[in-house]
Amino acid sequence: MAYDSILVHLDGNRQAMQRLQIAARLATASQCPLIGLLAGRVPDPGWFYLMNNAQRCLAEDQERRRLRRENMRCAFAAATQDLPLACDWRTVDRDPVTLALREAREAGLIVSGQYDADNAEGPVARQLLEALLLESGRPTLVVPCAGVFPSVGARVLVAWNGSRESARAVHDALPLVAGARACMLSAGNGAREPRADATPVSHAVRLLERRGVSVEVAHGPGGSDLAVGELILSRASDFGADLVVMGAYGHGRLRELVLGGVTRLVLESMTVPVLFSH
């Protein structure tokens, strides 16, 4: 089982090349096309006309962005030139969130980056990441903004609560985890009774074992979103995981989507890549 294509979101931030390296490794393992997508903040030209020397400021900004696009395209070409894969380079301008979603829905897997407080793209970086997680309809592998990750999917922490999102996450992760060692962490929200249709953890274990995954099961106490998020991160560290697999949760619609508490906590404090599915 393999992904049919992998799209890596690139921008001008420090983690972009790390993302590209991981995406290239995964695409090589799946023998599938690799798509590089440059999407970032594009200022409204109308703002420049509020400044002195507006025409010059606008021209300088356009030239900076042109050089950034060209530099990133060259970096992508250099990093992928020896890969035995079809590699495709794309850029989007103007409305980066909407247009990135349009491109991303083609991919079997999206590789993106954790939001960094020092992100040069400003607020659009957070908006774009949340949109990829909750609106793309595709599994998204989020790479931390710090650290080096020579393996992804050898030791896996799977967060399981029997929901649609967690079931989809396990299925979406199968190409990454075949033959791995996994810790299946079963924990719910202690403030609510389990849903009647919540799938037992044993079902997910069987699914993974059919893919050659060696699975151990751990049961968590549940509790608040904060407690569950901290439990996931703690167990991932204790297990020595190089990948966390979990459902992504949100509230609201379209541009008003807001990440759920567990998702936001893991996304903010992650130290290894996390595969989210929604």
Same domain assignment for residues 134 and 188: no
Over residues 62-74, the mean pLDDT reads 85
Domain that holds residue 202: 155-277
pLDDT at residue number 210: 95
- Residue 253: predicted pLDDT: 52
Residue 149 placed within a domain: no
Q: Which residue has the higher pLDDT, 101 or 258?
A: 101
- CB neighbour burial string for 17-40, b if at least 16 within 10 angstroms, e if fewer: ebbbbbbbbbbebbebbbbbbbbb
Q: What is the dihedral of CA 253, 259, 262, 264, to 10 degrees?
A: 170
Residue 148 lies in a domain: no
Residue-wise pLDDT tens digits, 25-64: 999 999 999 999 998 666 555 554 555 666 777 677 778 8
Whether 161 contacts 249, CB under 8 Å? no
**CB 267 within 8 Å of CB 232:** no
Same domain, 90 and 194: no
3-class state of residue 206 by DSSP? helix
Q: How many domains does the chain fold into?
A: 2
Pick the more confident residue, 153 or 115: 153
Which pair of structure tokens corresponds to residue 277?
């599915």
- Looking at residue 115, its pLDDT comes to 84
Residue 32 has a pLDDT of: 97
* Residue 248, phi-psi category: left (phi > 0), alpha (psi -120 to 50), beta (remainder): beta
Among 123, 143, 163, the domain boundary falls at 143
CA 12 to each of CA 6, 38, 69, 256: distance values in angstroms, whole numbers, following the listed order: 20, 9, 9, 26
Across the range 117-122, mean pLDDT stands at: 64
Query: What confidence score (pLDDT) does residue 254 get?
Result: 47
- Residues of the chain above pLDDT 90, percent: 58
What is the rounded average pLDDT of the residues 146-155? 94
Same domain for 125 and 180, yes or no, is: no
Are the C-beta atoms of residues 107 and 6 closer than 8 Å to each other?
yes
Instruction: Please identify, among 110, 143, 176, the residue that sits at the C-terminal boundary of a domain.
Output: 143
Residue 138, pLDDT score:
96
pTM of the model: 0.89
Q: What is the CATH number of the domain that holds 213?
A: 3.40.50.620
Averaged confidence pLDDT in the chain? 86
Q: Report the SS3 class of residue 239.
A: helix
Report pLDDT for 116.
79
Residue 216's beta-bridge partner residues?
183
